[in-house]
Structure 1
């Protein structure tokens, strides 16, 4: 098995391939479970069941997917930017205590310190280097905003369908994003993601996972910062 994987695509892209496969499996599972739950509610309320294709193209499915995506990418966006300025003594998730901030060009290999194998936008200088220097956080923020927008639009459709079924007037998009229903959906996801990130930063100070880059080496002092094993 090791010989097969050595130098292969799966070996070189194991994390992305593994998590990509698990993501697709979970998404398919969510589609089937969501359809079953939706059809149950439809039958209880005297409605008609829908096919799997009808369900995965519905607002009900879209809002459930988008509200999770937006909270995940908010977490990544905040973490990418926060770790520039915030540190946690003893955590492998943190920079050393004396390196708070965007760091020097020499440390980051930008400007005259760029090397031959540096990305083209780093060697170009000017606005391209400035953008590339923040590209990870920018992309995370864009995906968050897009998924948040998708959640608000699909959630509005579901919410208005419920209001109409109860013989109430539908609301506008602004009315929905200012409603308790929208923020209840949103904040219950945000708080769980922020708790998970904060917990990892603190737990990794005192706990270990042998061989994981998210953990310090097993025998490393609790006080040692920015060392992974």
Structure 2
């Protein structure tokens, strides 16, 4: 690891943003993988039901893709949000993520608004400081609720797509895969 900043702008950018860039690459890679495998799986299901397969662009706008993506994200954001909130108050002996059991830590001290490098909410105090202190858990729970909504929206779209494809006389029951359609 360099102790002085790299001279090249590109190397400096890569060094200073390496975490963001790697996480973005992993997210995009898994979304691409999920898109192609989900597309193949969904078209196989549609063919089993004697329905026309979707193009990749149609699949990306389908309820199946939305539901599959945000079902996974929903559980992850809830888990991480709960983990953040619970580690504020709870402790675990031997855990490197936990606060010390019987000692005060620097993180428990009130932030100093007079420091030059103090963030704006720390300097302003009041409701902005309260929001800033809880911003990570708020962000995770907002992401959870957004994922929950998109998961539900995707599920509804998937049911509607099968109903539209089947025609107005039939409605498909989404829980039955690989079997004859069930009238609802």
TM-score range (shorter-chain normalised) is 0.7 to 0.9
Q: Contact (CA 8 Å) 1:86, 1:100: kept in 2 or not?
A: no
Q: Give the superposition deviation at 1:57.
A: 0.5
2:118 aligns with 118
2:155 aligns with 155
The 2-side partners of 1:80 and 1:100 are apart by: 19
CA gap of 1:100–1:50, structure 2 versus 1, over 3 A, is farther
CA gap of 1:76–1:40, structure 2 versus 1, over 3 A, is same
1:18 aligns with 22
Q: How does 1:59-208 map to 2 (within 5 A)?
A: 59-98=63-102, 104=108, 107-110=109-112, 114-159=114-159, 161=162, 164-165=171-172, 166-169=181-184
The 1-side partners of 2:148 and 2:142 are apart by: 10
Alignment RMSD: 2.6
The 2-side partners of 1:95 and 1:13 are apart by: 28
Unaligned runs of 5+ residues in structure 1 are 170-229
Q: Contact (CA 8 Å) 1:77, 1:141: kept in 2 or not?
A: yes
Unaligned runs of 5+ residues in structure 2 are 164-169, 173-180
The 1-side partners of 2:104 and 2:134 are apart by: 16
Structure 1 residue matching 2:171: 3-state secondary structure: helix
2:38 aligns with 34
Give the count of matched residue pairs.
163
- Normalised by the length of structure 1, the TM-score is 0.64
- Normalised by the length of structure 2, the TM-score is 0.79
The 2-side partners of 1:91 and 1:108 are apart by: 24
